Amino acid sequence: MSQQVGGKMSWQTIKTIRDKWSGKLILKGILSQQDAIKAQKLGVDAIIVSNHGGRQLDKVPSAVSVLSELDKSLFNKDYLVFDSGIRSGGDIVSSLASGADFVFLGRPFLYALASGGKQGVDYLIEKLIKELSNTAQLLGCMVVDDIDSKYVVERTRNI
């Protein structure tokens, strides 16, 4: 990628890729409603709302705060993906409630692999499933599809 696009990405790059590629196109790193609309207008099939785990630029909004504000009707069901900062099954539930169709985790899997090898990764998956299931049950959700925005409480800041 870096050899072909020189490490710089623009909307023109996305348009060129879209024109040449008829398969599914997923754009990662969306952090605003305006960019989600641009992506949709260019024919992108799905977006990943992500700040890349805050590793590249630590002055951007948290990905989950952006997710809550996005117009979820821009993309078809199962095409709004989320990552950055998920560390527990509870975090997965709040991401789904905030509008994600599914989520990715980055560093937790690296840490699990580094500290425990395959067993570490198996342990992490089991732990995430248990936490997700426990949180969903405590909310009264029988299936994952029951988790929706009614479980999100808007916080008001008194300064």
Ligand X SMILES: Cc1cc2nc3c(=O)[nH]c(=O)nc-3n(C[C@H](O)[C@H](O)[C@H](O)COP(=O)(O)O)c2cc1C
Active-site residues: which are they? 52
Residue whose C-alpha is closest to residue 97's, from 151, 54, 138, 58 = 151
28 vs 138 by CB, closer to ligand X: 28
The least distance separating ligand X from the CB of residue 125, rounded to whole angstroms, comes to 14
9 vs 138 by CB, closer to ligand X: 9
86 vs 141 by CB, closer to ligand X: 86
Contact by Cβ (8 Å): 94, 57: no
The least distance separating ligand X from the CB of residue 106, rounded to whole angstroms, comes to 2
- Exposed, middle or buried, 3 (CB in 10 Å: 0-12/13-18/19+)? exposed
The least distance separating ligand X from the CB of residue 9, rounded to whole angstroms, comes to 11
* Per-residue CA distances from 53 to 85, 109, 146 (Å): 6, 13, 27
Residues at the site binding ligand X, with contacts judged by CB under 6 A? 28, 50, 52-53, 55, 83-86, 105-107, 110
18 vs 52 by CB, closer to ligand X: 52
Other beta carbons less than 10 A from residue 80's beta carbon:
22
User: In what order do the strands lie in the sheet containing 26-30?
Assistant: 26-30, 46-49, 80-82, 102-103
The least distance separating ligand X from the CB of residue 129, rounded to whole angstroms, comes to 17
Give the whole-angstrom CA distance, residue 14 versus residue 42.
8
